[in-house]
Amino acid sequence: MDYDFLKIDKPEKIDEIDACITGGFIIPPEVEKTVSAILREVRANGDEAVLKFCKEFDHFEAKNVDDIRIKDREISSAAIDVKKSFPGLVKALKVSYKNIKEYHIAQFKRETSSWIIKPDKGKKIGQIIRPLERVGVYIPGGRYIYPSSVLMTVIPAVIAKVNEIVICTPPQPDGTLNQVLLFLCDWLKIREIYKLGGAQAIAVMAYGSESIKKVDKIVGPGNIYVTAAKKKVFGDVGIDSLAGPSDITILADDSSDVSFIAADLISQAEHDPDSRSILLTDSINTAERTIENIYRHLDMLVNEYGSKVNIEVILKSLKKNCRIIYSKNRNLLIEICNEIAPEHLEIMTENAERILKKIKNAGAIFIGNYCPVAVGDYTGGTNHVIPTNSNARFSSPLGVSDFLKRSSIAFYSKDALEKEARSIEVFSEFENLIAHGYSVKVRFNKNKK
């Protein structure tokens, strides 16, 4: 095929960068309207609304909520069938499970702890860590099936010792769930699973119904309706993040393998027509040859895989959102990278560790020619639920801490409180919250009964 849709941008300063590179994710008004109506109805009518939307959007007609809840026998049967039918996949899942579990156990040991300090006599302050009681996990369906997302969302919750984990995922056209997903649920000991997708799944997890208990937090990626619903229920429940189109940025120089760069940009474009694929390089040769290799790989994919590869989605994404950016000024490229705040960042340069020190904003970072994003997607162990839409400026990949909550604790003896009593009174008087100071003063009132 003849291609000629990629050009090289040559900015001289940061404000020359195309807005699409750093633009946020906007939820269209019609989606907001539809989602608001679904949330209101599920909140008001519970099971009745869930079943209505299940028929309307998931195209599955159920008589009651028990019809959309997966039975234990279905899970057990899937576990047996998948082991027989997909031995290679089961082996790959075990590799992924082992690495994800090891990473998040290490994370749990280092990032989360209860502690107490005794800064003065008669005084103790600190924090205690507790797992969330009940978590809802949304697993996307639709265009693709994502067993990897089950592992990425459930494993850290299990390590955090969440007591109840419920999964919602859209059914297949025949009204069943994918057998591999059920196999994983059996393996991970998840027994509460509903054939329910979209905003209605988010609504019932957030608000509950006569038959489904509400959760404390909802995690997991989804389409624009799921994202809009998560945004609207935040505050009634916790959420992990708002997932928009996936993106990758690659920092490269003359030492980089242009064939690898091209393949990685294409792999990100495969997700969605709105996915972003960006190359930042200080080598014009690397920029030019990357474009040549993108075209070459597109032909190779079609020739080798035929209809298995969704070439229409890839081409739409590359034409709309792929940018090849060249500048001799490496510091400008790093500044652009930090402005993009990519979901995925690959550093394929000499002295990659030196560049890494200058990266301020990135969700997941992959270093070297032999560490593509696909490693993190499947077997690397790091989590692939990562902030999109430049949200890596202020948020982080999903991890064990997302399934924990902190409570601050304090103990004061009478002497310790007496030492600070006047300071508390001064604050309360200045802020005109007199009863606050009084609540301390009364403890030392000689005439109190």
**Catalytic residue positions, numbered:** 343-344
Q: How far is 431 from 126, CA to CA, in rounded Å?
A: 26
Sheet containing strand 123-131, strands side by side? 115-120, 123-131, 404-412
Q: How far is 140 from 145, CA to CA, in rounded Å?
A: 7
Sheet containing strand 217-219, strands side by side? 192-195, 164-169, 134-138, 217-219, 238-239
User: φ and ψ at 430, to 5 degrees?
Assistant: -65, -40
Q: How far is 13 from 9, CA to CA, in rounded Å?
A: 12
Q: 180 with 145: CB under 8 angstroms? A: yes
- Residue whose tokens read 């909550």: 405
Q: How far is 11 from 136, CA to CA, in rounded Å?
A: 44
Enter the tokens of residue 262: 């091209």
Cα end-to-end span (Å), the chain: 92
Q: 127 with 114: CB under 8 angstroms? A: yes
Q: How far is 217 from 440, CA to CA, in rounded Å?
A: 37
User: Between the CA of residue 135 and those of 156, 157, 237, what are the distances in Å?
Assistant: 11, 8, 10
Give the contacts of 287 (CB within 8 A, at least 6 positions apart): 8, 279, 281, 324, 325, 326
Q: What is the distance, to the nearest Å, from the Cα of residue 49 to the centroid of all Cα atoms in its chain?
A: 28
Q: Which of 211, 242, 248, 217 is nearest to 229 (CA)?
A: 242
Identify the H or E element spanning 195: strand 192-195
Amino acid at 309: V
Q: How far is 261 from 291, CA to CA, in rounded Å?
A: 10
Question: What angle is formed at CA 438 by the lines to CA 437 and CA 439, rounded to 5 degrees?
Answer: 90
